[in-house]
Each structure stands twice: as C-alpha cells, then as structure tokens.
Structure 1
Amino acid sequence: MTEQSVWRFTDDRRQLTTAQRRPTRVLAYVQAGATLWDYGIRPEGIFGSGHDGAAPDRAKTGTLPLDTVDYRGAGDALDVDTLLRGDPDLVVAVSYGHGQIYGLDPDTAKHLEERVPVVVVDVGQARTLDRVAERFAELALALGGTRDPGADGELAAARERLRGVVGARPDRPRVVALSPAGPEQVHIARPAMWPELRVLAELGVALVAPDEGPGVNWSTDGWDRAAALSPGIVLTDIRSNAVPLDGIDDPAWAAARQGAHIVPWNPEPLCSPQALARFLHLVADAVEAVRAV
C-alpha cells in the first residue's frame, strides 16, 4: 500500500483521519447524511439529536432514501453499540463550534471515536453557509461522490432571482424567522446568528430581528411580541420538535398572520447547492406573492 493510496481527510477540528482504503459504510448525523446524499453518497445509517424522536425527522432528511438508510435513533436511545450496529467504517458528525460533536452525549462520542474514525464538519454561526457547503463538498468528493453538473448554476440562478425579486424597493416585505414553542411561547430567530438567514440578508431580504435580550440564537417571547414585528413573510421551523404553526390561535398572532405568507424553514439546513437553491426559490415565491396582493 503506497502512501498515496491511503485515504485521508482533515476535519474542522484539524484532526486528520486516515484509512487504508476509502470509507464506504458511512454513519452520519442526519443533516450531514442528507447533504452527502446530494453528492451521491448513500450513508448506511443516520442518527438524530436530542430534538428528534424514534423516527427520522422528514424536515431534515431531504431526499435520502429512508427505505435503505438505517435510522439509529436519537438522544438517550443512542449508545455506542446502537451506533455501530451497521458496522460503519466512518462517522460524519457536525459541530456548532469548539469541536464538540452535536447530538451525542460526550461520553458516547468519546467511546465512539475509540472504535471508529469520526470526521466533524463545523456548521456553527461563525461560518458562512458557503464555507459549510464547501466543506461538505470536499468531504463528499473525498468519499467518491460527484458534483451535480447543474447544481452550481441552479444556485447562482436562484440567488439572482431572489436578489432581483427583492430589488432595492423601499416596500420590501418584513421577514421573521421563528420556531413555535407552544400556544404561549415562540422562539424568534436572531437573523445574524444563522448562516442561511445571513444569505437572505446579503441578497436584500428584509429580515426583522427581535429586541435585544437573553438568548444567543433565539429570543423566547409571547406570540404578541412576534405579532408586533408585523411580518409579511414568516419562515417557520418545520422540524418535528417545533409546534405546527397552524395550531397557534393567539389572537394577536392570528391577526398578524392573516396577511403573511408562510415559508417552511429547517434551521438545520442541507448544505448542498441544490438544497439552498430550493430554499431561495421558496423565499422568492413568497416575496412575489406578497407583492401580488
């Protein structure tokens, strides 16, 4: 075996992973697995976080073929033996900074790394979405994946479409991103803390931030505070841990929502060009719909 034939990849913890051959049985955090699938890498298994349940969250799985990808579970249901039941030869995890593996108990993560190589991609707020996407692309290509030849052009077209739809007009619709917590509370996103929301802002979307206060990523408030932001477009969290927006009957919110357009939003986005393009087109559709009224 020559040195050049050894597989190697340096992850976002600056840890070099090597193997005698390219890994072919990848276990991945669901966000990572769904992103890798867009490059033709089918993970043999996926796992969720403490926000997830006994079944995979369809908001996070993208176009993953769930009939052939084994879902290991999430949260307290995850231990090393469960994670390794498909005999993976590589684990792809994500981190929100400082290299800590998201979705796994630190002891579980430690014992997992003692038995199988783990590659971590940083998806935290300090990174641009473009950089996160490029890191996933580098990993996917190293694993034998391929770029969709039309994906980059598709994304560029989606960016230009949204930029053009928003334009420089003063009547840009106000956009609020939120995660419904229940009938009395809502988590309102602080746009600057979310890479995909920063992309929208760069393209001219008028994202509205909640008042300063506790909470780094979210401001947790009553629905009256969300209503006071007067959204023309609402990006609503559609993950399984969020309460469906249709179930919220707060009077102030019901009045504010009446004229707003709703866009589904996954705060753990797939980080491939085609996935971001789909999201940008959804936002552009909503902007056009608001202006058509």
Structure 2
Amino acid sequence: MSGPVLPRRGFLAATAGFAAALTLAACGDEGTPTQAAPTAAAGGWTFTDDRDKKLDLPKRPARVVAQVGAAAALWDFGVRPVGVFGPHKLKDGTRDPQVGNVDITKVRGLGNVWDEFNVEQYIALQPDLLVSSMYIKGTLWYVPEKSKATIEQVAPTAGIMLTGRSAMQVIGKYEELAKSLGADLQGVPEAKARLEAAGKELAAFKDLKILMMSAGPDSMWVVNPPEYPDIVHLTENGLNVVKPSKVDEGGFFQTLSWENADTYDADVILYDTRTQSLKPAEMMKKPTFAKLPAVKAGQLYPWSAEAPYSYQGYADFVEGLVANLKKASKLP
C-alpha cells in the first residue's frame, strides 16, 4: 500500500484487496449459487437507496449479487447472495475477513481485486439486484467504471452510503434492505443487545488518546474520524480518537512518511488489519514507529477496518476493542 495516487483508491481500495484474479468457473470451488434467503414474494417491491433512487420492481428480488462488504452485512441479516465481488478469498483459498460470515463455497466470485468484475459470469447468474456500499455518493464500491454501464443494464442496483455516517445508521439501512428482501433477521435482537452493552463500556476509556492508522511500505495513513462509520460510532460512545490537523484530498486521512510517524501523541494505536496493510512485525521495522510510546508500551491493537455492517459484525468488533482497551493505560 504505497502512497496513494487517488485518495480513496490508495487507502481504501489498495488495502481492501490483494489476491490474484479468480479464474472462471473452471476453478471448481465456487459451489452452487444459493438463492437469497427468502423466495420472491408476490406483489411489488420498492426500496429507496442512499442515492435517493427509488427502486420499484414487480416482485421482490431473489437473486442478489453484492460487493463483499454489503454481502457480509446482508448475510448476517439472513439474505443469501448468489454472487460477490471484491476481496473475498485469500491466497490459501480461505475467506478474506472482509467477506464476514459469507460461505464463499456457496456463492459465485465475480472478482477478488480492485477493477475486476466478470461481467459474463454476472449475466449468467441472472441477478435481480446488485448491492454495494458507497464512499462517494453515486459511486458503487468495486463496480469498475469501465463496466458500469453494462452492469447497470443487467439488473437494478442499490447503493448504501458509508461516508459521514455512524455505523448504526449504516447498519440500520442494511437492516431495512434485508427486511425488504424478506430476511428472517435471526439472531439480530441478541447481537443488537451485545453491541449496545459493549458500546456503553467505551466511555470508560475516554481519557485514552487513540490514534487509528493504516500502514504501507513508504507511508502511514492517520485516518480522519468523521469519514468512517465505525470511528464515528466509537467517538459518539466516548472514545478520544486523534483527528489529523491536515487531511489529504478527499478528506479520509493524512499521509505521513515513516520519518514523521511521531507527528501525533497517542496512548493507544489501532492498526488496520486488512490484508495489504502492514502487519505489526513489519511496522516495527520502521525505527520511528518502534520508538513511539504506545508501541513501546505494547498498546498497539488491531482495528477491524471493514467489520460487517451488521449488529453481529459490530458486536464482535466493539467487544474485541473493549477487551484490548482494558489492558491499556494512559501514558506519561
């Protein structure tokens, strides 16, 4: 994840995917696509997405294709996509963390890296609906610009906005979509209660100064809290997250050279765990980073930067964070 050419692609996309392109169905490991959890209901279906676009179909979509983040959220609510695109499979064939609980043996993979989307396979799936998150209103995440027109002719699309919202707002929108698709929402009340309980615990750590970052070979990115739903959720619940004084174009983060890793004081550092972000052992090879007080104190903890936007996904994320913060203390 070297210095970003484009802000969103450099930080968001480059850290999101890494594996070589999946081959066609000859790979033989994609399984048989499953229907969405509900069967298509009689009567019409409507849903207004975050582009303010009202989708109006003669029947409820049954065959849903989704970007991995959207698929992970919908899966937890009980919707079973037939296809996914975006980082979903690691080099060893196991699930990429970004795809959450999705059973990748039962969905067709249409692409595993940025700018990869197999349009022919998408058409063959006979989708009723494509769902993706959006960091920029109107731009569906991981839908390649070069194929956008064709993809949008195949089936209606729905976009769920991430930027500038809290995680609870995003989760609520996915819940609304899942309900409209007839999902059973099994396990949702319990997970929602877990998330609320964990959220209340965050206020106990309000005195800790927390820096959230992602790491590349030549740079580290200090994220800008208001732009990320998960960080908005954390700050709304009392965490003191460092806000960079100067952000790059696009507003998502500030790029720092490793020589300037000590620009901001912090008691705790949360690092991006996505595949192409450097791991702690690699970051420790950067002398300025290794000397940071939080690092020397062992207060370097994982940040699940793309936890599924479901109550289950966020309960797991916040509970894990609380457990780590209980081990931390304010530094001199």
Q: Kindly state the Cα deviation for residue 71 of structure 1 after the two structures are TM-superposed.
A: 1.8
The change in CA–CA distance for 1:230 and 1:44 in structure 2 (over 3 A counts) is same
- What percentage of residue pairs aligned between the two structures are identical? 26
1:100 match: 139
- 1:195 paired residue number: 229
The 8 Å contact of residues 50 and 137 in structure 2, kept in 1 or not, is answered as no
Aligned to 1:286: 324
Once the two structures are overlaid, the 10-residue window that deviates more, 138-147 or 105-114, is 105-114
Structure 1 equivalent of residue 255 of structure 2: 220
1:253 aligns with 2:289: yes
Change (3 A) 1:6 1:77: same
Deviation of 1:53 (Å): 8.4
Matching residue of 1:274: 312
Query: Which of the residues 220, 234, 237 maps onto 1:186?
Result: 220
Contact 2:194–2:315 under 8 Å retained in 1: yes
Deviations 1:157-216 (A, max 9, x none): 1111222x325xxxx22211111011x311111122222112211222121123325341
Evaluate the alpha carbon distance shift between residue 241 and residue 263 of structure 1 in structure 2; reply closer, same or farther with a 3 A threshold: same
- Separation (CA, whole Å) in 2 of partners of 1:60 and 1:159: 22
Is 1:144 aligned to residue 178 of structure 2? no
Q: What CA distance in whole angstroms lies between the structure 2 residues aligned with 1:119 and 1:75?
A: 19
TM-score scaled by length of structure 1? 0.87
- Matched to 1:42, the amino acid is R
Say which is worse superposed, 238-247 or 21-30, in terms of deviation: 238-247
Distance of aligned partners of 1:185 and 1:268 in 2 relative to their CA distance in 1, 3 Å threshold? same
Specify the alignment match of 1:65 in structure 2: 103
Shift in CA distance, 12/282, structure 1 to aligned 2, threshold 3 Å: same
- AA paired with 1:173? L
The residue that corresponds to 2:7 in the other structure is none
Aligned to 1:204: 238
Give the structure 1 partner of residue 31 of structure 2. none
| Distance in structure 1 (CA, Å) of the matches to 2:222 and 2:138 | 26
C-alpha displacement at 1:29, in angstroms? 0.5
Counterpart check, 1:27 vs 2:62: no
SS in 1 for 2:140: coil
Q: Report deviation, 1:16.
A: 2.1
Q: For residues 259 and 156 of structure 1, do their structure 2 counterparts lie closer, same or farther at Cα, with a shift above 3 Å needed?
A: same
Q: How far did residue 116 of structure 1 move?
A: 0.9
SS at match of 2:74: helix
Q: Check the 8 A contact 1:96/1:123 in 2, yes or no.
A: yes
Change (3 A) 1:287 1:219: same
Runs of 4 or more, structure 1, over 4 Å off, are 51-57
Counterpart contact for 1:263–1:282, Cα < 8 Å: no
Offset, 1:57? 6.7
State how far apart, in whole Å, the 1-side matches of 2:94 and 2:213 are: 22
Partner amino acid for 1:130?
M
Q: Deviations over 1:1-29 (max 9, x none)?
A: xxx81122121122222333222211001
- Among 77, 84, 87, the residue aligned to 2:116: 77
Task: Tell me the amino acid that sits aligned with residue 271 of structure 2.
Answer: T
TM-score w.r.t. structure 2 length?
0.77
What letter matches 1:95 in structure 2?
Answer: M
Give 1:58's aligned amino acid: D
Structure 1 residue 45 and structure 2 residue 83: aligned?
yes
Distance 2:258 2:79 in 1: 41
Structure 1 residues without counterparts, runs of 5 or longer: none
Q: Give the counterpart letter for 2:197 in structure 1.
A: A
Contact 2:170 2:229 in 1 (8 A): no
Q: Cα 1:28–1:271, aligned 2, differ >3 Å: closer, same or farther? A: same
Amino acid at match of 2:235: A
Code of the residue aligned with 1:217 in structure 2: it is F
Aligned to 1:177: 212
Aligned CA RMSD, in angstroms, stands at 2.6
Q: Deviations over 1:98-152 (max 9, x none)?
A: 3121212234122111121111111122x23222111100000111113322122
* Corresponding residue pairs, total: 283
